[in-house]
Structures are given as C-alpha cells and as structure tokens.
Chain A
Amino acid sequence: MSHDVHVEARSEEEYKYNRRKASQAMRNQVTVFAIMIFLTFVAFATVQAGFSAFLVVPLILLFAGVQVALQLYYFMHLSEKGTGIMQFFMYSGMIVAFTMILAFVTIIWW
C-alpha cells in the first residue's frame, strides 16, 4: 500500500535463473500444445474411421478431460506456486457439482 518506489537490484545469478525458468516454461508450453493438437487429431480420426459410438464417446470424453487438465496446469499456470487457494476452490466446486449431478441422475431421473 505504500507508494514509495522500491528498486530491486537483480544479481547476474538471479537473471540467469529466471532466464532458464522462462525457457523451460516455453518448452513445456510448446510440448503441451503439440500434445493437445495430437489429441484433437486422434478424436477427429476415431470419428472419421467409423468406430463404434461406445468406443468413440468415452474416448472423446477422456481426451476432453486430459485437455482441460493440460489447459489449466500449463496454459493457465495452475502448476505454479501460490495457486493453492484457487485449486482448493476449483476442486471443492467440482466435488459439489459432481455430487449434485450424481444425485440427480441416480435418485431423480433413475
């Protein structure tokens, strides 16, 4: 809250460390991007190949789940430090929503 200006001098070592971290993150993102494109391609291919719907539907749902996780952890930086609260709230919300959906499909519309 203070408005006095702080100047933080960074040492040569810190600079190198940050550079290494950044290039590592870049490599991860490119890799994950490639995986995601590959998964999308596989999903389209299974439909195109005319496999049974009992194989295609679960497979696509599985890929969708993997893609969401990759998106969250690599592109939205959930794998980094300081995201504990966000993860806590997201997973709590998912658990609550899952319970609701489970209850609705089992005891209302069974």
Chain B
Amino acid sequence: MAAPPPLERAENILGVPLHRTEITLESGEPYDEGASYALSQHFYGKDGELRNAIRNMTRFLAAFARQRQDSQKDAAVLYSLLGNLHYIAGNFNESANCAMRAASLNRSDITYWVELAFSLRALGEFDVFEGILFNFEGIVRLWQQSTAPDLTKEALLSLIKEAKS
C-alpha cells in the first residue's frame, strides 16, 4: 500500500487538519494564513506539545528529504509547516531558515516569502521586512530566474537591492 501524501502524514503527526495550496504570483491570490492560523490555535501557549511537534516534524522532514528527493514541492510545504511551528515557539532564526529552504525548493509559491518576511520582522529586521514587502513581485521573479541553489540571507539582500534598482 502506498504511503499517504506527506501533508496528510504531517496532519497525523501534528494532530491538526491542514490545507495548503500553491499560491503563485499569477494566481492573484494573497498569502493564505490558514495553516499558520490552525497551528497557532492548536499550539500557542502549549509549550510542551509544541516542542514535541517540532521534534516530530523535524524527524519526519529529515526522513522525507532523504527518501523523496524527487518531491521538492512537498518538502517545501513540510519546511514551511516546520517553520510555522518554530515561529509560534518564538524560534525566529529557525523559522526564517525554514522559509528560505522552502523558497529554495519551490520558487513558485509566494507563501514562503511572506513567512520569511514576518520571521525577519520578528527578529527586528524591519528594513529587510519592508524590503521584501515593497518589492515583493520583483524579488519573487528575480529568485525564479536565479541560478543560485539556495536562498540565503546574503542572496536575499542582493535580491532586494536588485529589485529596488
């Protein structure tokens, strides 16, 4: 029997119903905070449960990334969910790293850029936050054309600079 889809497995691990669809620049849809909302409602203020959820998701994601290197979009969704858990826990460096990893694995979905922007805002990096939001489409398009393998903080700052110019 085939394993259930990764999002379904994540739902089982976290005990939260989750809904994710890819949101692109072309779709004309805004960032969907549905998953972030569901996870916040379930885990905010429950530190022990949240720590367990982060540990279990991290393990699941590591195994998934090893076994399913062909499924980058699914891995991106899982990184995003893990990032959301870190964000709720107040681990903003980790949530920013997850968002950058997700944006590296799937360059179409704008969700990860919004998650990255708010993680950086939570770290007090207001200029970078505004740099992303005020140049949103430009940055996403530049990243889609970029040949860099991974989105890093340095790459992000270059994208903002280039999008502004």
**Mutual binders A and B:** no
Q: Which residues of B contact A (CB under 8 A)?
A: none
Q: Which residues of A contact B (CB under 8 A)?
A: none
